[in-house]
């Protein structure tokens, strides 16, 4: 793997130490169980990776084991849609933090089918619709985009998870049809959901995720390269959205405690962007009541403290 | 005035230029009119000040004219309460971004009287209650705190505005009594509201505000001094809260566009914290539909762009 | 037509008089326009029929012209489901009046997918699901039931309206998928919606409706016959539901003013049950802001006053 | 006491029998405990009274023991306000059934401070404001009105309950201030609440209540007399409101099961109006989860079934 150091670096030792401390935490929480395919994942997986901007990658634990990235996929979909659709995208989805989960449907109704931001499900479904409407083969376009970013041609969606999402996706269907009733979905709802569930079912490792998102820490340029993924303004915007809305109803607390743009997924993954430094990705499947991984949060929080990383000083 | 430069600095020239451009903007919006005392302010006031961490202050326009700081006062109340009450404060008010204004009362009911964050009215009323319950003379304690921070003993609350707030404060009374019904207000509601309305009625200039909040850009230490106002963690936390929740229902957009912790007030003031650099304060009374000042936002946005200031890179 | 009097009765004269007065009302409101098939109906149609319990029917105006019964069909679906499913139906739908339209989706979420009553769309969709799950051919079962009640084998659903409902049914799809996510829809959502849209598209005349619902005024026995449609308890229950929830967000006002169990549809029809007397059905396509027909309400209200009909004394 | 029969009537025997059956019911539920004064009432009290229109009164159990009428007082306040304020009252309070309790505050906000109906707290507070604004001594006016209706000069408000309501009335204060912020409260909020809490604290017996409300069953004329309390239209309107909104979030179920206009209070009282027959009042302090008395509901339901009383046939 590109960039993996030959010998344990100082950072790698630090990661190993933090990983061990995370392992000692009580076994609170459990895997997401709304779909069988996630519920059966071994809850004791534990991994962390850091991709620095010079291309170096530091790892500890199960950092190379692929897992279901779930909501973290919303970043990839968003960046691709921002690049292709441009400013008109923001007529269809806002950029404001949302309140809590309970009123997501009501908020959508109140705001005439315009979701609060692209990281709540309704917003990500609008983004999916933008991709489905723009590309003749949106799923293929997205997976190619991700493979390039991660420099890993093997990344793919897990068919079992994909199918499982579909079967248990009635709430997302409700959101999509409600937005359709407000004319904020252009393609047919089943096609849009198909893309959305596909993207949630993509499997990547901590290393894949940290490397693929390094452009967010680097003004839009892929870490260790000169590849422009997006312009600086777009990278800034995604980071801003991650800061206010990336961690479900714990986004404010995460900003309060850690102070880094971050995104979690119910597969237990957590990526955090450190501008001018790199990207951290942690993984542990046990979730807290907000749907965020206990141990992933612990590892990212601890690493940020140890290295003095925070955008808020 | 301490720190005002003898000769126009480069920054002062930049401020002057930005101010002139702001003056050319269309006369959209109008003064807050929910209380007569604010409605009669001259809508053409326009000022900006930057307090750098070395103590220098740059100004343009009406930067030394006091105005009603309104919601910007929530920062001072919060910092004082954080210092005195400590962690237990966060049992009574959360740190999550709120959704939009319309459902503030409902959200309060849904969350059993625990406000989403200290920058929505309900949260600031809880903070006011904490101060009223802690200090024998909370209003006096707060104004002394502010005068020290600004190094200006003349700062005071405007009696007419204070009285006007009281007369038109029925919605805030509703919030307070609702929280009282959930046992999240300890003192008597009228006393708490009295403090809250007092704090909203404080008058300060752009220079006062920029100087008094410089500690937020400086890890808790007052700019141009070695006075510790709060510890680094607290400064970080306030900045995080400002980033997600400081600009009403435009907080996300402001992060998206500008990327600085900031707080606005319906008096037309706007302060933005630039970690390791200083604090910007702009003022223009004309408000947009979100209750934020058009021209203040323009000036802060433009300055941030010109100087390349953003926490999100 | 069975029961139509040979000579103008006193009641027929009264109906004619009321109809003429209704015709003089200002041309306020317009046809339902959410689907093209309804928008193009001649807005000047005007008819009224009264079916007394002895089998006599009195008419005036366009009382024999079929129109789209829309939500009035919810009565037929409900009675059929009550007879076939019995008490378990009330585990899936409540019998409480709903608040206003705006929060229908939120209320559904708050109450875990259990609709407030069978006359709001969500509740009628649950009833449709009960029928689809119970009958191998639920649409055929329902139309046969209605034809028997009305003694009119020609009653059918309008294909154009049915198709139109399907195309514009995204909000109902949202409700159905949301309930499905709470396991309160048993069959596949598209099949349930197909039944629901079919039922809304049924065409009947004032005479058809008045005759077919006479059992509600007669303790469950079809007027002018000894045919038991349902037991007395069921007839009572349907009347109670109609009294609290039959007229959208004007249900309370209608009870306040008129005091009769009643149901309206956006096709402009309005049926009112007068216990021990008979059933009134009025029709005029122009709707007020609540979705009720102006002139139909006027005619039923006036007739109820003239004849001293009200259950509340 | 006027109208009490000398010898046990058939109805009295029936009441006694129903009372004994109610006593055998499981001891479910408990007294209202939101204020201490109600919590300490003996939960085993059990009484029922029927006031027929000819002036006869039938009783069983503790029918002559005064209890806190609580929300039943809303009927008296409403009738008095309807007579004095007339139609303009309905500009300030609607006549629609409300949804459930949880969103009462939100609904008030959504509908700009206009409560759904006069039987939810917000609506009764508007009615109280109407009385406070109309009468120089509204509390005195109300108690005199009630004493006349009940022909019992000893009826009064319980000082301990009144005080207790005030101390625990923060939620009602929140509703009042919210409505004040929408200009739907004219007098000062503390004065309005004082009246409202006073009226809730009135003590009456089953006999008092049944007799005093007999005019609702008699087209506005006091039973056993020719005293006109209100016109027939007003009596009809109050009955309609009671039918859709008198039993909290069990109003629909009560209509479904019993079919009589009725009002309950958290003191355990329940009055039901039987047009052209009389008024039933039952009392037992144990409440169900909706705030209605288990045994009072049982007694009224059973009596209505035995006597074949229902407005819905």
DSSP codes, C9-72: -HHHHHHHHHHHHHHHS---SB---SSHHHHTS-TT--EEEEEETTS-EEEEESTTS-EE-GGG
Residue D229 appears among annotated catalytic residues: no
| Together in a domain, D19 and D137 | no
Measured CA to CA, the distance from residue B312 to residue B296 in angstroms comes to 21
Answer yes or no: do B244 and A235 touch at CB < 8 A.
no
Instruction: Choose the catalytic residue: D74, D180, D219, D263.
Output: D74
Residues near B3 by Cβ (< 8 Å), separated by ≥ 6?
B51, B55, B56, B57, B211, B224
Indicate if C64 and C175 belong to the same structural domain.
Answer: no
**Cβ pair B256:A237 closer than 8 A:** yes
Inside any domain, residue B40:
yes
pLDDT of the residue at B103? 55
Sheet of C67-68, strand order: C67-68, C202-204, C156-157
Closest CA to D240 of D94, D131, D107, D122: D94
Q: A312 vs B107: CB contact, 8 Å cut-off?
A: no
**What pLDDT is recorded for position D5?**
43
CB contact under 8 A, A244 and B117: no
Residues C65, C211, single domain; the answer is: yes
Is residue B310 less than 8 Å (CB to CB) from chain A?
yes
B173: closest chain D residue by CA: D177
- The pLDDT score that the predictor gives to residue D8 is 56
For the segment C155-206, what is each residue's pLDDT rounded down to a tens digit? Answer: 999 999 999 999 999 999 999 999 999 999 999 999 999 999 999 999 999 9
- Asked if the structure places residue B43 within a domain, the reply is yes
Contact B96 A250 (CB under 8 A): yes
Min distance B302 CA to chain A CA atoms (Å): 14
Decide which of A184, A200, A216 is a domain's last residue.
A200
Residue B300 lies in a domain: yes
Residues from chain A contacting residue C109 (CB–CB below 8 Å): 102-103, 105-106
Decide if D2 is inside a domain. Answer: no
Residues A217 and A263 placed together within one structural domain of the fold: yes
Residue D176 confidence class, pLDDT cut points 50, 70, 90? very high
D175 and B CB contact within 8 Å? yes
Going by DSSP bridges, is the β-strand pair C156-157/C202-204 parallel, antiparallel, or unpaired? antiparallel
Query: In the prediction, which pLDDT does C99 show?
Result: 66
D171 three-class SS? helix
CA distances from C213 to C238, C271, C296, D13, D102 (A): 11, 9, 17, 39, 36
pLDDT band at D6; cut points 50, 70, 90: very low
Crossing angle between the packed helical segments C73-85 and C189-200, to the nearest 10 degrees: 130
Residues A37 and A81 in one domain: no
For residues A254 and A191, state if they share a domain: no
Residue among A244, A230, A196 at smallest CA distance from A74: A196
Question: CB–CB of D260/D307 below 8 Å?
Answer: no
Domain count, chain D: 2
Of B111, B240, B252, the CB nearest to A95: B252
Tell whether D107 lies on the interface with C, counting CB pairs under 8 A: yes
pLDDT of residue C106: 80
- Are the beta carbons of D177 and B181 separated by less than 8 Å? no
In the set D68, D98, D127, D196, the catalytic residue is D196
Q: Which of D192, D229, D248, D273 is catalytic?
A: D248
**Beta strand ranges found along chain B (DSSP E):** 47-52, 57-61, 67-68, 156-157, 202-204, 262-264, 269-274, 278-283
The tens-digit pLDDT sequence of chain B (313 residues) is 444 444 557 888 999 999 999 999 999 888 998 888 899 999 999 999 999 999 999 999 999 999 999 999 999 999 999 999 999 999 999 999 986 654 578 888 888 999 999 999 999 999 999 999 999 999 999 999 999 999 999 999 999 999 999 999 999 999 999 999 999 999 999 999 999 999 999 999 999 999 999 999 999 999 989 999 999 999 999 999 999 999 999 999 999 999 999 999 999 999 999 999 999 999 999 999 999 999 999 999 999 999 888 887 6
Question: Which pLDDT score is estimated for A106?
Answer: 80
Q: Phi, psi at residue C204, to the nearest 5°?
A: -145, 160
**D4 band by pLDDT with thresholds 50, 70 and 90:** very low
* Domain match, C56 and C85 both: no
Q: Are residues D217 and D287 in the same domain?
A: yes
Query: Which residue among B96, B236, B255 places its CB closest to the CB of A252?
Result: B96
pLDDT digits 0-9 by tens, A180-192: 999 999 999 999 9
Catalytic residues of B: 71, 74, 196, 248, 266
Sheet containing strand B156-157, edge to edge, reads B67-68, B202-204, B156-157
Q: Indicate if D132 and D61 belong to the same structural domain.
A: no
Chosen for mutation from D90, D119, D122, D255 (greatest number of chain C CBs closer than 10 Å) is D255
Considering the domain boundaries, does residue C2 fall inside one?
A: no
pLDDT digits (tens, 9 = 90+) for C64-90: 999 999 999 999 999 999 999 999 999
Query: Could you read off the pLDDT of D84-141 as tens digits, one per residue?
Result: 999 999 999 999 998 665 457 888 888 899 999 999 999 999 999 999 999 999 999 9
Q: Which of A286, A290, A289 is nearest to A249 (CA)?
A: A290
- Rounded distance, CA A159 to CA A153, Å? 17
D174 contact B CB<8A: yes
Residue C215 has, within 13 A of its CA and on its CB side, a CA count of: 25
CA distance D291 to C269: 38
Residues in chain B closer than 8 A to D177 (CB atoms): 170-171, 173-174, 177
pLDDT in tens, D126-175: 999 999 999 999 999 999 999 999 999 999 999 999 999 999 999 999 99
Statement to judge: residues B196 and B206 lie in one domain: no
Distance CA D175, CA D182 (A): 11
Identify the pLDDT of residue B6: 46
Query: Is C244 within 8 Å of D97 when comparing Cβ atoms?
Result: yes
What residue numbers bound the domain in which A182 lies? 72-200
D259 touches chain C (CB under 8 A): yes
Q: Which residue has the tokens 């407005």?
A: D311
Using CA coordinates, name the residue in chain B closest to A261: B312
Assigned domain for B172 exists: yes
Among candidate residues C145, C172, C200, the one where a domain is terminated: C200
Q: Does B276 touch chain A (CB under 8 A)?
A: yes
The pLDDT tens digits of the residues spanning C28-39 come to 888 998 888 899
Residue C253 forms part of a structural domain:
yes
Distance CA C102, CA D99 (A): 12
Q: Are D181 and D113 spatial neighbours (Cβ–Cβ below 8 Å)?
A: yes
Q: Is C235 on the interface with A (CB under 8 A)?
A: no
- Residue C100 is predicted with a pLDDT of 60
pLDDT digits (tens, 9 = 90+) for D16-60: 999 999 999 999 888 998 888 899 999 999 999 999 999 999 999
CATH number, domain at B176? 3.40.710.10
- Taking alpha carbons only, the member of D306, D303, D309, D298 closest to residue D268 is D298
Query: Which structure tokens are listed for A20?
Result: 């061990």
Q: Kindly list the distances between the CA atom of residue D280 and the CA atoms of A282, D52, D53, D55, D306, in Å, as whole numbers in the listed order.
A: 68, 9, 11, 13, 13
For chain C, which ranges sit under pLDDT 70?
1-8, 99-103, 313
Question: What separation in angstroms does the CA of A36 have from each of A168, C155, C185, D26, D310?
Answer: 10, 48, 21, 43, 52
Q: What are the Cα distances from residue D248, in Å, to A175, D198, D253?
A: 31, 21, 10
- DSSP, residue by residue, C219-269: TTBPTTS--BSS-HHHHHHHHHHHHHHSSGGGHHHHHHHT-S-EEE-TTSE
Digit-coded pLDDT (tens) for D186-213: 999 999 999 999 999 999 999 999 999 9
d(CA D240, CA D245): 9
D residues 190..229 contacting C (CB < 8 A): 217, 219
Residues in chain D closer than 8 A to B102 (CB atoms): 109-110
Residues D210 and D108 in one domain: no
Q: How far away is chain D from the Cα of B109, in angstroms, using its nearest Cα?
A: 8
Q: Are residues D81 and D176 in the same domain?
A: yes
Burial, B191: exposed, middle or buried (Cβ in 10 Å; 0-12, 13-18, 19+)? middle
Average of pLDDT values for A288-307? Answer: 95
Q: Could you tell me the two tokens for C66?
A: 């079929």
Measured at the CA of C26, the angle between CA C21 and CA C32, to 5 degrees, comes to 105
Instruction: Give this prediction's pTM.
Output: 0.93
Q: Which two tokens stand for residue B64?
A: 């030394």
How large is the angle between the packed helices B10-24 and B294-307, nearest 10 degrees? Answer: 140
Q: Tell me which of A137, A170, A200 is where a domain ends.
A: A200
Residue A66 lies in a domain: yes
- The D67-68 sheet, strands edge to edge: D67-68, D202-204, D156-157
Check if D94 contacts C (Cβ < 8 Å): yes
Contact between A265 and A74 (Cβ < 8 Å): no
Name residues whose C-beta falls within 8 Å of residue C31's C-beta, 6 or more positions apart in sequence. C38, C39, C40, C41, C43, C268, C285, C286, C287
The Cα B292–Cα B101 span in angstroms is 14
A107 has a chain B CB within 8 A of its CB: yes
Helix (H/G/I), strand (E/B), else coil: A216:
helix
ipTM score of complex: 0.92
Best of C53, C82, C235, C313 to disrupt the D interface (most D CBs within 10 Å) is C313
Other CB atoms closer than 10 Å to residue C37's CB: what's the count? 19
Whether A259 has its CB under 8 Å from any CB of chain B: the answer is yes
> How does DSSP classify residue D233?
H
């Amino acid at each position: 793997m590109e960039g993996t150091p030959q010998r344990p670096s100082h950072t790698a030792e630090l990661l190993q130490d933090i990983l061990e401390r995370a392992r000692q935490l009580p076994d609170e929480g459990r895997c997401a169980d709304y779909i069988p395919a996630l519920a059966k994942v071994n809850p004791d997986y534990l991994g962390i990776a850091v991709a620095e901007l010079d291309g170096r990658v530091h790892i500890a634990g199960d950092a190379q084991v692929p897992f279901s990235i779930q909501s973290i996929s919303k970043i990839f979909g968003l960046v691709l849609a921002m690049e292709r659709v441009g400013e008109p995208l923001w007529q269809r989805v806002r950029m404001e933090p949302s309140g809590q989960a309970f009123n997501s449907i009501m908020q959508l109704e109140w705001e005439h089918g315009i979701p609060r931001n692209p990281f709540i499900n309704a917003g990500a479904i609008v983004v999916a619709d933008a991709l489905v409407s723009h590309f003749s083969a949106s799923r293929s376009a997205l997976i190619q985009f991700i493979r390039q970013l991660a420099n890993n041609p093997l990344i793919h969606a897990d068919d079992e998870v994909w199918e499982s999402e579909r079967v248990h996706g009635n709430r997302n269907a409700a959101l999509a049809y409600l937005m359709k009733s407000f004319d904020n979905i252009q393609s047919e709802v089943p096609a849009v959901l198909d893309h959305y569930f596909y993207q949630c079912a993509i499997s990547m490792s901590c290393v894949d995720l940290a490397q693929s998102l390094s452009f967010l820490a680097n003004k839009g340029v892929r870490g260790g390269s000169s590849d422009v993924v997006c312009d600086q303004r777009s990278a800034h915007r995604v980071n801003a959205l991650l800061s206010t809305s990336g961690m479900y109803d714990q986004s404010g607390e995460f900003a309060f405690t850690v102070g880094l743009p971050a995104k979690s997924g119910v597969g237990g993954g957590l990526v955090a962007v450190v501008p001018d430094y790199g990207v951290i990705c942690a993984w542990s499947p046990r979730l807290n009541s907000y749907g965020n991984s206990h141990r992933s949060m612990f590892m990212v929080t601890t690493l940020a403290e140890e290295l003095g990383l925070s955008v808020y000083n």
